[in-house]
Each structure stands twice: as structure tokens, then as C-alpha cells.
Structure 1
Amino acid sequence: MTKCDHCMIRELNSFNSLTRDELVSLDEKRTIIHVKRGQPLFVEGTVLNGIYCLQSGECKVSKLTPNGKDQIVRFIKEGEIVGHKSILSGTSAKLSVTALEDMDVCFIPKQELLDLFAKNKEFSLELTRSLCQSLDKANLTVATMAQKNVRERLAEFLLYFERMFGVDEKGFIAVKLTREEIANAIGTATESAIRLLSEFKHDGFILLHGKQIKLLDKPKLIHISDGF
């Protein structure tokens, strides 16, 4: 695994503001973790002992609803950091993080993060800014989705998911989701998600191949998402 001071991933997050000496120290204290698809990185209620930086792979962030449903609130891809909100606020994890694909993750101990936060003002500012941006995105998503019906939410989600993860060489969205995960992401029953996906396929808006999805008519999906 690449050493911290040569890691290209850090250019995508708050660690890009660390000095070379700080990166060398970080490299000595981090641990590399491999997480298989479907395995949790951590679950809601866990008292975290450090933070996680995704080197490769993707994961979903979810919260268990009172009726036991796993509500997906966002997705994370390589270069992003998770767990820092709980560490900085001194609380247990409020959300669960689960691998969508096999992931390589750097675990950074809590005390190392707190020391960097106290010593490096630029790093603490970048980390705080990252938290604020994440909260702004979450608030915008909630506000946007609350105004849409299920059909509109599905169209919005498919467009977002392709933007987030891109497509493979055949044009399918690069990350696969089960029908249940799609339903959990748009706040509906699995049966409703299956029915709407079938309708979108029948109307020529998307192509389905198992868990793979290809967007065939993005202008129409945008039209649906906008409520028309």
C-alpha cells in the first residue's frame, strides 16, 4: 500500500493540508483494513476508536428506522473520510457504513486525529469545512426528496448515482445495487421500486441486466425528476 506522503487519495480530502512530517507520522500509526462487499465498516451505536479513509471501493451510509428498515442516507467513494464527526463530537456512531464493493480502508487512531486537529490549523479548518459541506448536502437532499413523489425520487436517484460512480465500458452504472438497496435509498417499499424500474425499462428510459442499470434517456429522467 502507498505511503501517506505519496498517496494520491489524500489530494481528495482534508489530509492534503498535512506537512510531510505529519504524513510520515500518520503512515506509522495507520492500519490497512480490507472489507468485503456486504460487510459493515462499523454499525450505528459503535463507539469509534478512530476514523477511516477509503483507499478503494464504495460504501453506503444508512440509519435504522423505528420500524427496522435500513434507510440509506448517502453513498461514499474512494478518497472520502468517515467517522470523523463522531470522533470530534465525542459521540457514538449515528449511522452504519457498509461496503458496496470490496474496499481497502486506512484506519487512523482517534488520538492521532485529535493531535493533528489541535496542531495544524489548516487541517482543522479543512476537516470542519468538510463536515459543514456534508451537512449542507444532506439537508439539501432531504429537502429535495421530500418534495418529490416516488417516481420522481427514483429518476433523481438514478441520475445522481450515475454522476457519483460513473459507468463501466458498456455504459452501465459502475456500482451495482440490489432492488432493496434502491428502495431504501429513495424511501419506498422494495415492491414499488421493482415496479417503477420495470416501468422505466418498458418506456425505454433505462436498461436492466440483473443488478446492472444503464441510463438510456437521461433528458427524460431529468424531466421526470423535475416533476413533469
Structure 2
Amino acid sequence: MSIKGIFPIDNWDFKSQSILSGLPEEDLDMLMERSTTHTYKKGDTIFREGSFPSSIFFIATGKVKKFKTDKAGREQIIYVANTGELIGYHAVLSEGRYPDSAATLEESTLTVVEREDFLHTLRHSPTLNHRLLQNLSHEFSVLINNLTLFARRSVRERLALQLVVLREKYKINFEPGTPVEINLSREDLASLAGTTRENVVRILTEFKEEGLLQTKGRKIVVLDVRGLIGVAES
């Protein structure tokens, strides 16, 4: 089922897929003039926190996690980027280093756009400028919502909300009534929800007993998205 009208998904999801969609043809040609396309295996690193950006990346297919790593080597996933989204452009715009790392969650195809081509197009395309400003403003709101989530919600509520958001990201050729499979490791799910793997396993078991979802190995199938929304918003 669609969750539009019952859950404010835009409050939790970036909209960078809208940046290039419908961009004037001459602007898109300018941006992609020297671009290259590469296939990344699951778990491949795209860029590392602290490195200097030479490119931005368009996710043609697949999913990418953006994360930070603490001194003990523990990951905190900030965001899961989906097919059609741009990543890596924040560091280019700020003229700084990457503030986080990115790695593939599944086999993915990415188009790599040269830093100079991105900046050149930005100088000559009012449309791209406007869309980037809109997107950055929206991303700021999403990040504020996530900070509030960690400060005010229980682990159970956080996990339920992340499952609702991930369900939307894992919709592929979706048809009403068709179950959506979330293919994410328990470690990554724990990192995304800001908890431990043990807590994730325990709460998933509770959700299964309540009829909200079922599991198939590492895959999670949401059976009652309304119920999960109810938990997330309790």
C-alpha cells in the first residue's frame, strides 16, 4: 500500500533525485560531458570521510549508505541514498573534505561526474542552482528531524520509523498488495537506528509476534505498514 496521506515520508527522505530530473538538455550535457559509469560490488567504498572530493556521484542503480566512523571503528549510518540520487556534492560546494563516508549496500551502478564539470555547470545553469538550494534546504530539515528522533524517541519507535522509510526505498516495480523486502544487515539496521544489533534482533522478534513483519534470512518483509507507523508515532 502507499503511505502517502498517512505518513509524512518527505520529513525523513532527501529529494536529490529531483535535482537532475527534467534538467534542461544543454545543462545535463554540460554536466555529463566527461562523466564515466562504474559498477560497484556490495560493500565497495565510494569515498572516505576526510578525503578531498574530485567528483560527485549519481546513483543510476542500487543503494548507498552514508556514514561516519568513531575512533573505535563503529559506524553510524546517517542516510541511505537510493537510485536516482546525487551524493558527494556537499563537499564540493563547501570546498572542503568529505564530512562522511559512502559505501554500497548492494551491487550498484554510479555515474561519476568530474568536480570541475559540476562547478562549471553550476555557474551556467540557473535551474541547477535553484534545485540545489531547494534540496540543501530540505536536507537540513530532514537532518533536524533525525536529531529530534534520536533525542525524543525510544529505540522501538526509531526502528519502526526506519523500517517505514526503508520500505519506501526498497520498492522496486511495486504493485499494490505486493510485499516489499528490505535487504539490510542487522548491523546496518542497528547503525541506522542508533542502537545495538542485539536490540534490533529483539525488537524485530517483537514486531514479528505482533504481525507487523516477517523475516526471510536477513530480509525483512513489512506486512502491516500502518501498524509500524503507529509504533513510530506513538
The normalised TM-score by structure 2 is 0.85
Shift of 1:18: 4.3
2:195 is the alignment partner of 1:193: no
Matched with 2:190 is: 183
Note the C-alpha offset of 1:28.
3.0
CA distance in 2, matches of 1:220, 1:28: 47
One-letter amino acid matched to 1:92:
R
Please tell me the root mean square deviation across aligned C-alpha atoms, in Å: 2.1
Paired residue for 1:4?
Answer: none
- Structure with greater helix percent: 1
Given candidates 70, 74, 78, the residue that maps to 1:73 is: 78
Q: How many percent of aligned residue pairs carry the same amino acid? A: 26
Deviation at 1:44, TM superposition (A): 1.0
Higher relative contact order (CA 8 A, sep 6+): 2
Per the alignment, in what secondary structure is the counterpart of residue 29 of structure 1? coil
Residue aligning to 1:35: 40
Q: Which moved more, 1:11-20 or 1:182-191?
A: 11-20
Deviations 1:99-137 (A, max 9, x none): 111111111111111111111122112112212211211
Q: Tell me the CA shift for residue 210 of structure 1.
A: 0.5
- Measured at CA, do residues 18 and 150 of structure 1 come closer, stay the same or move farther in structure 2, by a change above 3 Å? closer
Greater Cα shift, 159-168 or 169-178:
169-178
Matches within 5 A, 1:44-55: 44-55=49-60
Q: Is the 8 A contact 1:57 1:104 kept in 2?
A: yes
Q: 1:61·1:96 contact (CA, 8 Å) conserved in 2? A: yes
Question: Given the alignment, which residue of 204, 213, 221 partners 1:206?
Answer: 213
Deviation at 1:175, TM superposition (A): 4.0
TM-score by length of 1: 0.87
* Secondary structure in structure 1 of the residue aligned to 2:27: helix
SS at match of 1:47: coil
**Post-superposition offset of 1:52:** 0.5
Amino acid at match of 2:233: D
1:43 maps to amino acid = R
Aligned length: 217
Counterpart amino acid of 1:210?
A: G
Kept in 2, the 8 Å contact 1:161–1:173? The answer is no
Q: 1:66 Cα deviation (Å)?
A: 4.0
Tell me the equivalent position of 1:5: none
Does the CA-based 8 Å contact 1:18-1:120 persist in structure 2?
Answer: no
Matched, 1:15 2:20: yes
Give the 3 Å change call, closer, same or farther, for CA 39–33 of structure 1 in structure 2: same
Query: How does 1:120-199 map onto structure 2 within 5 Å?
Result: 120-166=125-171, 171-199=178-206
In the alignment, the residues of structure 2 paired with residue 163 and residue 212 of structure 1 have an alpha-carbon distance, to the nearest angstrom, of 15
Which residue is 1:93 aligned to?
98
Query: Residue 105 of structure 1: SS of its match in structure 2?
Result: strand
